[in-house]
Chain A
């Protein structure tokens, strides 16, 4: 019974220590190192992300260049199609004149052969006129394609300029992210110099203090002799090595 009381005293004293100034310092250092670790990880991720952004921007720039080239080619082709259609129209007009002359000859002849010529002439002229109308519509469409391709080229040019600006901004962000990463490392070095404990020890101590505080808090709830006796039976295999360990560490030997 007295042994159990001794453990409880030890643990209570640990609880008191946990609230002491030293404990608060260890806790603060643990928090500092935890924050530093997170900052380092975040800064590394930002550097990686900006690298990815720069790569994506480069790919986008290539696509915009391709788009610009395609639009310019389309514009040039549309400019070439117009004169070609004019030549086809002129050819059809000449064919129409041939048909007219055939019809005129047919009308002059007046016999069965003349009638046949007139009929052929009419047929040819009908098809030629349809062809000329279709070409006229096609020319109107092609004339729209040229300026449209020109607008696409203008927009692609503007997009390329915007992409170049974006690329510059990404480089700036990348540089700032690398600077941040270096600064966080610098903070870590200075913190190591100023701190009495290294990051690993601070973390271990904070974790141990947290466990100890929990243990003390739970044991403080034991009121009756029966509860104390039960606690002794359950906790003995754990508490005895703990007390020995604390003694070995040079703690207060209760």
Chain B
């Protein structure tokens, strides 16, 4: 299931989640770890579910699926740490780049998109601001 080790390709993880099968490049994936507990933070709304200590770092926990287990993929995004939960790691290694020159890789005969972590973070922040806006709207006399 791993990529061809002789290929130059791109190193990283192939995961399965609510988003589908996605590639997480090794440049942003720091580790796969076990989350002892997620601390809920007031004001956070899904997909952000709280914060947790992962590998001695405080990370924002973002749920991207309902896969069983408590493993989390710790990633670095713009100098901050994000722990992705609810995903299942399917493969690790170096994967061939997609032939169309896109950001995708090939795995198991399929073209796999890279995960859009920035997009995920923006979606999480948007959801938080939307929830805050609705709350403020409701409390206005």
Contacts and interface: CB of A to CB of B under 8 A. Distances in A.
A98 to B, nearest CB: 9
A174 interface: no
Point out which of B6, B29, B31, B32 has the most chain A C-beta atoms below 10 A from its C-beta: B32
A66 interface: no
Is chain A's interface secondary structure helix, strand, loop, or mixed overall? helix
A220 interface: no
A108 B29 CA distance: 10
A94 B33 CA distance: 8
Sorting the interface of chain A by its residue count into under 10, 10 to 19, 20 to 34 or 35 or more gives 10 to 19
B36 to A, nearest CB: 12
A97 B6 CA distance: 24
A104 B69 contact: no
Contacts of A108: 11, 26
A115 B26 contact: no
Interface of A: 93-94, 97, 100-101, 103-104, 106-110, 114-115, 118-119, 121-122
Given A101-B31, A107-B11, A114-B11, 7 more contacts: A100-B13, A100-B32, A104-B32, A107-B94, A118-B2, A118-B93, A122-B1
18 contacts: A97-B32, A97-B33, A97-B34, A100-B89, A101-B31, A101-B32, A104-B13, A104-B31, A104-B92, A106-B92, A107-B26, A107-B92, A118-B92, A118-B93, A119-B2, A121-B93, A122-B1, A122-B2
Q: Which 7 A-B pairs have the closest CB atoms?
A: A103-B92, A107-B11, A115-B5, A100-B32, A108-B26, A118-B93, A122-B2
